[in-house]
Amino acid sequence: MASQEKKTFLQQVEVEVLPECDVAVAGGGTAGVVAAIAAARQGARVVLIERYGYLGGMITAGNAGLTMYMKYSGNPEEHLRDERTLETDPAAVQIAGGLAREITERLLREKIGVGNADTFGSYVFTASEDFKRLLFRMMKESNVKLMLHSFLADVIREGNTIKGVVIESKSGRQFIPAKCFVDATGDGDLAAKAGVPFEVGVTPEDICAAHAGVGKMQPAGVMFKVGNCDLAKTMRWLTENPHRFQEHPFSRFSLETVRRNFEKGDNAIMLVRYDTDDPDDWVQVYNLPQPGVVTLGCPCVYDIDGCNVEDLTRAEMAMAETVHKEIERIRAEIPGFENICLLDCPQIGVRETRHIRGRYVLNLRDIYEQRDFPDSIGFGSHPVDTKPRPAWLDDPKKAYPARWYFKIPYRCLVAEKADNLLVAGRCVSATHEASGSVRPTVQCMITGEAAGTAAALSFREKTTPAELDVTLLRTTLKKAGVLL
């Protein structure tokens, strides 16, 4: 049977032209909010476009945690020493400053986030509704103009210059002209609509390309939130049944440390094993500021394209059933969770789609070997979490040196073939393997601050992001507290 030919039509519509701004940021997740604040603090008139009615992306809409703030040591003993160093000399192990630090310190100070030793280490989890409110407050403080409930519909460009973006909302179609743009949509929607080249999933430059196949993407998943959990009872049970406890691969907390952290009101993140012989049969557990409320995860849906509406629809339907079955199993098998109720199962969390092509493509060797980049705009420290991966990375306890971290070059944020466009967040220019280390939320904040600052400086200096003086950018970031 022949495939049905797609039909198209052409329509001309009138579009309201809004006042011009200096910097337009598309996407109000962790990268976008920080980009908008950073640009505004440099004196730019900023518009932030967000398709939902709130900000925060995967933190508020996906129940994800903020990670990673500190250098990584795969060996549990080394990592435990580094966690203790947070109490005495946090600067020795932390890799995040600037707005990432400012936002997180406000979360902890206002008691709407849980960290480690009254500061931040591997993870910080927050009360999502309070986080939304904090971000709204910071937008107002920075004089950022918000356009919520607004979907990016199109991009207007002349040659290699983007003139503005078209948004669709309850107010109809509107055109926002700007001098410089930041794509923080996660999927690189603005860049793709502007004709910037990109790769999807595994790239030809990836070491795993021969095994995984070019275009293969990471699975999508969800972190769901439950209430009425007696986590103290779970801790007592784990003490009596230590074989059911498994340390989290990125926090490296022992059971003793998890129990102590829980009693102090700090992060108590862990993996709780089901009673099977399968070494990978476990559930992730993350405590939150509210007593009795816990985030769990992360069931996955494989072989979906996060830029395909039919795939996303299929994933949502499958995940609803998966989470229901998971909760039933948790109630039956884990003491302390017998009476839990589902509070929130967010929309599917997409880990990977487009990698927008920038002036440099960050790769696995760059990050693992800690390559020095003169145009570095910040650090990352999240271990490579993509699979398959090279054999020399398979055992995190042995693969990484003590206090491992890597540098992120500015050129990864500068889009090709669009003179006034920067990208931030998980769509920055990186291979599939490298993106597994730069897509986490704290690294999104770091690239967001650099992109927003560079956009404002480019406008002020009357130049393009590609021609911007990197020394000026790095000096400006350093004054803002960014660690370089």
Alpha carbon distance 69, 296 (integer Å): 21
Give the domain extent around 151. Answer: 18-73+126-204+354-484
The mean per-residue pLDDT over the stretch 141-168 comes to 98
Burial of 340 (0-12, 13-18, 19+ CB in 10 A): buried
Residues 67 and 165 placed together within one structural domain of the fold: yes
Residues 138 and 283 placed together within one structural domain of the fold: no
Place 4 in a pLDDT band, splitting at 50, 70 and 90: low
The mean per-residue pLDDT over the stretch 18-42 comes to 98
Which of the two residues, 250 and 136, has the higher pLDDT score?
136
User: Hey, what amino acid is at 348?
Assistant: I
Q: Dig out the tokens for 208 from the structure.
A: 């795993």
Count: domains in the chain = 2
Alpha carbon distance 332, 314 (integer Å): 28
2 pLDDT above the threshold of 80: no
Residues 390 and 476 placed together within one structural domain of the fold: yes
Residues 26 and 155 placed together within one structural domain of the fold: yes
| pLDDT score at 413 | 98
Place 90 in a pLDDT band, splitting at 50, 70 and 90: confident
Which one of 344, 362, 394 terminates a domain? 344
Asked if residue 470 lies in contact with residue 401, where contact means CB atoms within 8 angstroms, the answer is no
Residues 28 and 140 placed together within one structural domain of the fold: yes
98 pLDDT above the threshold of 90: yes
The mean per-residue pLDDT over the stretch 8-19 comes to 91
Of the candidates 294, 298, 353, 286, the residue with the CA atom closest to the CA atom of residue 322: 298
Asked if residue 237 lies in contact with residue 335, where contact means CB atoms within 8 angstroms, the answer is yes
Q: Look up the CATH number of the domain holding residue 197.
A: 3.50.50.60
95 within domain boundaries? no
Which of the two residues, 164 and 386, has the higher pLDDT score?
164
| pLDDT score at 1 | 44
| pLDDT score at 361 | 98
375 within domain boundaries? yes
Which one of 317, 344, 371 terminates a domain? 344
318 pLDDT above the threshold of 60: yes
175 pLDDT above the threshold of 80: yes
Which one of 324, 344, 364 terminates a domain? 344
112 within domain boundaries? no
| pLDDT score at 63 | 93
Alpha carbon distance 444, 68 (integer Å): 10
Kind and range of the H or E element at 396? helix 396-399
Residues 387 and 431 placed together within one structural domain of the fold: yes
136 within domain boundaries? yes
Residues 151 and 228 placed together within one structural domain of the fold: no
Q: In whole numbers, what is the pLDDT of the chain averaged over residues?
A: 94
Place 17 in a pLDDT band, splitting at 50, 70 and 90: very high
Residues 363 and 256 placed together within one structural domain of the fold: no
Residues 403 and 477 placed together within one structural domain of the fold: yes
188 within domain boundaries? yes
Q: pTM of the full predicted structure? A: 0.96
The mean per-residue pLDDT over the stretch 139-167 comes to 98
| pLDDT score at 397 | 81
Alpha carbon distance 173, 167 (integer Å): 6
Place 12 in a pLDDT band, splitting at 50, 70 and 90: confident
Residues 69 and 187 placed together within one structural domain of the fold: yes
